[in-house]
Amino acid sequence: MSRRPFFRLAVAALPFALAACATPVNPSDGHAEDYGAVTPLPEAARPEGALLPPVPQPPERPVAPTSVTDPAIPRATRVDNFVDYTVQTYGADPAYVRSVLAQAQVQQAILTAISRPAEAVRPWRDYRPIFINDARINGGVAFYRENRAALDRVAAETGVPAEYIVAIIGVETSYGRVTGNWKVIDALYTLAFDYAPRAPFFAGELAQLFALQKAEPQLDVLQLKGSYAGAMGMGQFMPSSYRLWAKDGDGDGQRDLLTHKPDVFASIANYFVVHGWQRGAPVVARAQRAEGAADFKPENWEPVYPLANLAARGYTPAPGQPTAEGATLLSLDGEAGMEYWLAYRNFYVITRYNRSPMYSLSVHQLAQAIRAGVGP
């Protein structure tokens, strides 16, 4: 939900550890903080008409109240308040919640990892080869071929192309091979009660874990394994994403995102649909920059700029590239120099899985390479 590589790799690429939560641990996620503020167009040069409305999104997931997360409150009291909050909000059994929390362990290694200063953001020319390489592409082609019937069925039902589902799994967990070895209960317990900067989010996710277990009683929360941020399964869903948007892909009455591929495929596709995916619409287009055009760094990735607006700024689709009603501009330092991309609505949807624009473009390019390898 960003986005999505574990321990050493997860520390270096934290957004990968929080897939499907759309809320990175590090608030510097490539938006205005480190990408630059929006560059206004002179009034006289603006095309007629306002910007387009943002893509409708589901409600924000709740975070835990201050009675649970305020570090000035004694820890034992915060734990008691957490139990009350989880019972009142989700109808969890208080005795069960207390018994599970009594077995959770604080993991200092997680606190050490998450407290390290963020590494410098890689430029696109260095980031892209991590995911766009022969091993990742060939692995995706093989994975698609092995699971083609189930993937194509989900694609037909949802409008999310199968290659994008496969690419998400490839980027997140190397096609299910690297899903994390931390106990999810330990990870969320540690970050909820011992990491004050993001305690509201992680305590909220810990409460969602108990709500998820109530909805999916086959899950043993004491045995669930995942990333050190608490993301689980082949698609690395956080508990709230799992609870709210996971799907039973084969009608067996359970939603198993850990190893059951029909559920994994349906759930990744549903996540995209819920966040606004448009069937048959483009994701990005390579853009041309007019000579003398000013730099333009939008404050986020919402596709609110009509193409006429971007053209007035000096950015137009390259010949033969797809077009859509609204876009934003992505400027990346590529291997051969600056690259300019028009990012459409479906690109924005991928950023809801992980907010890094380079992650989202990697997913797109990996998906395109997988499709080319598989064929029509």
Which residue(s) pair with 306 in the sheet? Answer: 326
Chain centre distance of CA 312:
32
279-309 in b/e form (b: 16+ CB < 10 A) is: eeebbbbebebeeebeebebebbbbbbbbeb
Q: What is the pLDDT of residue 103?
A: 98
Q: Is 48 a catalytic residue?
A: no
Judged by DSSP in three states, 307 sits in: helix
Judged by DSSP in three states, 183 sits in: strand
With contact defined as beta carbons under 8 Å apart, do 239 and 212 qualify? Answer: yes
Q: What is the DSSP string of 219-249?
A: --TTT-EE-TT--BTTTTB-HHHHHHH---S
Which residue(s) pair with 317 in the sheet? Answer: 287
Residue 30, Cβ density class (10 Å: 0-12 exposed, 13-18 middle, ≥19 buried): buried
255-281 pLDDT, tens per residue?
999 999 999 999 999 999 999 999 999
DSSP annotation of 300 reads S
HEC profile of 112-167: HHHHCCCCCCCCHHHHHHHHCCHHHHHHHHHHHHHCHHHHHHHHHHHCCCHHHHHH
Q: What is the pLDDT of residue 174?
A: 98
What gap in Å lies between CA 343 and CA 346, rounded to an integer?
8
DSSP annotation of 284 reads E
Judged by DSSP in three states, 91 sits in: coil
Domain ranges (residues) in the chain: 31-57+122-175+278-374, 66-118+177-274
Chain centre distance of CA 58:
14
Q: What is the pLDDT of residue 121?
A: 85
Chain centre distance of CA 149:
26
- Decide the pairing of beta strands 315-317 and 284-289: antiparallel
What gap in Å lies between CA 150 and CA 235, rounded to an integer?
16
Task: For the chain of 376 residues, list the mean pLDDT of each consecutive stretch of 10.
Answer: 36 40 35 32 47 96 97 98 98 98 98 83 95 98 98 98 98 98 98 98 98 96 97 98 98 96 98 98 98 96 97 97 97 97 98 96 98 94
What gap in Å lies between CA 239 and CA 61, rounded to an integer?
11
With left for phi above 0 and alpha for psi between -120 and 50, is residue 38 left, alpha or beta? beta
Which entry of 33, 119, 163, 172 is annotated as an active-site residue?
Answer: 172
Residue of 241, 109, 80, 299 lying closest to 187 (CA atoms): 109
CATH code of domain 66-118+177-274: 1.10.8.350
With contact defined as beta carbons under 8 Å apart, do 268 and 235 qualify? Answer: yes
Q: What is the pLDDT of residue 21?
A: 46
Q: What is the pLDDT of residue 120?
A: 77
Out of 3.90.1720.10, 1.10.150.80, 1.10.530.10, 3.50.70.10, which CATH number does the structure's domain 31-57+122-175+278-374 have?
1.10.530.10
Angle of helix 357-374 relative to helix 345-353, nearest 10 degrees?
110
Q: What is the pLDDT of residue 116?
A: 85
Chain centre distance of CA 161:
17
- Decide the pairing of beta strands 337-343 and 225-226: unpaired
Q: What is the pLDDT of residue 49?
A: 52
